[in-house]
């Protein structure tokens, strides 16, 4: 039986930990309105619950969310 995936530990760089799930990101996705990066599924869920609001800062943004795959140094637009 495989061990359950645990939350991030001290060996995981902070840039790779989602601020919503507190776990290492498997699919990093940036909300370009704020530049914050999240686990893709967590970001989609948060935006479905509160459209037009960054889930980390609670700052409102105009228009549909523009998402980019990866971190700032490896951006690829996914919308």
Mean pLDDT by 10 residues, the chain (79 residues): 46 82 94 94 97 96 91 52
Residue 13: count of CB within 10 angstroms of its CB: 8
Query: What is the per-residue pLDDT for 73?
Result: 54
Query: What is the per-residue pLDDT for 27?
Result: 94
Query: What is the per-residue pLDDT for 3?
Result: 38
Torsion sign across C-alpha atoms 28, 31, 50, 58: positive
Query: What is the per-residue pLDDT for 1?
Result: 39
41 burial class (0-12, 13-18, 19+ CB within 10 angstroms)?
middle
pTM above 0.95, yes or no: no
Query: What is the per-residue pLDDT for 14?
Result: 74
Residue 37: count of CB within 10 angstroms of its CB: 22
């Amino acid at each position: 039986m495989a061990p359950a995936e645990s939350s991030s530990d001290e060996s995981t760089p902070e840039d790779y930990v989602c601020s919503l799930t507190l776990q290492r990101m498997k699919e990093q996705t940036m909300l370009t309105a704020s530049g914050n990066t999240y686990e893709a599924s967590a970001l989609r869920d948060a935006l479905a619950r509160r459209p037009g609001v960054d889930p980390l800062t609670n700052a409102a943004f105009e228009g549909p969310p523009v998402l980019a795959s990866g971190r700032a140094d490896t951006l690829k637009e996914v919308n």
